[in-house]
Structure 1
Amino acid sequence: MDDTDLQILSHLQRNGRLTMVELGKLVGLSSPSAAERVRKLEDKGVITGYSANICYEKLNKHVTAFILMEPKSCKHYAAFATSHPDVAENHRITGMYSYVTKVVTESVHTLEDFIDASMAHGKPTTLVVLSSSSCHPAF
């Protein structure tokens, strides 16, 4: 992977809907060359898919929280979390807790419902997000 590949990844992280013509111009390649590089990055598994960034507030989801979980059973908690509609992310981690779970929900009442349901799977510690700064792509 060279600097051009890293530039391609950076641009696609910011806007996955770029055309190959636009991408090629941004990185100094022809559109067929840009398309070939993207195809190779996909074939190597570097690019695993394309997604949309969602504004949760437009979906009436105004509360974001991170749940640090000490589960009784990792397998059962993972199944619970990944099947719950308010879970945006669930990560197995090291340290005092086994999971960090990002919950995006309508209200503190629905957050409380999630916490209550999660207690059947272990001990949750909840961190409510007050505000977020913009995120920047890693590349």
Structure 2
Amino acid sequence: MDQIDTQILKQLQHNAKISMKELATTVHLSSPAVIERVKKLEEQGVIEGYHAKVNIKKMERTIQAIILFKSIDCKSLSAFCNAHPDVLECYRVAGEISYIVKLATYSVETLEEFIDAAMPYGTPSTNIVLSSMEKKVITPFTDNNFE
């Protein structure tokens, strides 16, 4: 992956709906050249897909929480989280905690319902999210990233 591929990835992460013509202008290549590079990045699995970013607060999910689980039944907890509509992310991790679950729900009452329903799978420790920061653009690692 060269500098032009890096620029293409940066632009697509900022705006996945950018036209190939506009992208080509931005990276100083012809449209066919950019289309070929994007196709190659997709085939290599560097670009996994294109997604709409949804504002969860506008979806009335005003309560966000990170829940740490000391699980007694990892497979069942994973299946439960995968099927639950409020769960945004679920990570199995090593250490004293076996799962980290990020969820967005409608109220403190629905958060409590989630916790109660998850109790058979392990011991939860709930942390309400007060604010958050999310990186919008992920740049490829290079030696000069830290200069």
Please list every run of 5 or more consecutive structure 2 residues that lacks an aligned counterpart in the other structure: 140-147
The 5 A counterparts of 1:1-139 are 1-133=1-133, 135-139=135-139
- TM-score normalized by the length of structure 2: 0.89
* 1-10 vs 126-135, greater mean Cα deviation: 126-135
The superposition leaves residues 2-33 of structure 1 with CA deviations (integer Å, 9 ceiling, x where unpaired) of 11111111111121111111111221211111
Identity over aligned pairs, percent:
47
CA distance in 2, matches of 1:25, 1:122: 53
1 CA distance for matches of 2:86 and 2:102?
8
Cα deviation 1:46-88 (Å, max 9, x = unaligned): 1111111110111111011111112112211111001100001
State how far apart, in whole Å, the 2-side matches of 1:30 and 1:14 are.
Answer: 20
Structure 1: stretches of 5+ with no match in the other structure: none
**In 2, distance between residues paired with 1:96 and 1:14?**
37
* Code of the aligned partner of 1:29: L
Shift of 1:134: 5.1
Q: CA RMSD in A?
A: 1.2
Amino acid at match of 1:111: L
How many residues in Structure 1 have an aligned counterpart in Structure 2? 139
Q: CA deviation at 1:94?
A: 2.3
TM-score by length of 1: 0.94
Supply the AA of the counterpart residue of 1:74.
C
